[in-house]
Amino acid sequence: MNAYRGRSGLVGRHFFPRLRTIATALLLLLPIVASPAQAAPETAAARASTAHVYLLRGVLNIFSLGLDEIAAKLQAQGMRVTITNYVFWSSLADEAAAEYRSGKIKTVILVGHSSGATYLPDMVAKLDQLGVPVKLAIGLDSVFHTSLSGRVGRYINFYVANGAGTPVDRARGFQGKLENVNVQSVPGVGHLTIEKSQIMQQKVIGEIDAVVFGRPAPASPRPPSEASAAGSRSATSAAARN
């Protein structure tokens, strides 16, 4: 019996330390094996497929056809797009809320031209009430003065200061970033052409791509006063160097 105990103790002293060593090594390897699947980045296609851009046309659906061109370019990148007349903004907000709650979409973006831009703040406010975050909203020359309430990640109001457009005001309770950008200096841009301008289309799509894909946002066009001031500063600096 004593001999058996002696052998057992000898085996235990050599076997159990080795077992602990093997178990520790296996535990250390587990995070390494599992980490690639956990850390796999979301692909650009996946980000595009879970983004939905809602575009609101102006009166009679005949003055905002440039939005159709924007929609086609966004769809070519894999994004979901819905384009309709501004009078359906409320039911469109309900549809967006249903899609968001179902998990089909993660990123909600709004674009409106003319009367579509006028009702854009109402759609932002309703989506906020429905618990749907709006990452980006872009208004193109609203025909009436508007104010913005609710929450939105970023609201960009492009307007033609020497035409029908006006800046958007902040209402009480507004949360987010509001930018009023005067684009009257952009060649050929007016109320009926702002959404058809290739420069403005690229700007709108660039802002959307920045949200969906994380790309750098394009620089905003500057009004004539700022552009001329910048030109004067550049000319003065050049003269000083010479």
Spatial neighbors of 179 by CB under 8 A, at least 6 apart, are 154, 155, 156, 157, 220
Determine the Cα–Cα distance for residues 105 and 124; give it in Å rounded to an integer: 16
The pLDDT assigned to 221 comes to 67
Pair of tokens at residue 221: 């066009």
Q: What is the reported pLDDT for 164?
A: 82
User: What pLDDT does residue 142 have?
Assistant: 94
Per-residue model confidence (pLDDT) at position 35: 43
Provide the pLDDT confidence category of residue 4 given band limits of 50, 70 and 90: very low
Helix/strand/coil percentages in the chain, nearest 5: 50, 20, 30
Q: pLDDT at position 41, please?
A: 65
pLDDT tens, position by position, 167-218: 999 999 899 999 999 999 999 999 999 999 999 999 999 999 999 999 888 8
Q: What pLDDT is recorded for position 75?
A: 98
Query: What pLDDT is recorded for position 39?
Result: 42
The CATH class of 44-213 is: alpha beta
pLDDT tens by residue, 82-115: 999 999 999 999 999 999 999 999 999 999 999 9
The mean pLDDT of the chain is: 83
pLDDT at residue 218, as a whole number: 81
Determine the average pLDDT of the residues in 136-140: 98
- The percent of residues above 70 in pLDDT, for the chain, comes to 74
Half-sphere exposure of 165 (CA within 13 A, CB side): 28
Mean pLDDT computed over 19-29: 54
* Segments making up each domain of the chain, as ranges: 11-40, 44-213
pLDDT band of 25, cuts 50, 70, 90: low
* 19-33, 59-73, 114-128, 223-237, range with the lowest pLDDT: 223-237
Helix (H, G, I), strand (E, B) or coil at 163: coil
Q: How many CB atoms within 10 Å of residue 228?
A: 12
Determine the average pLDDT of the residues in 145-174.
Answer: 94
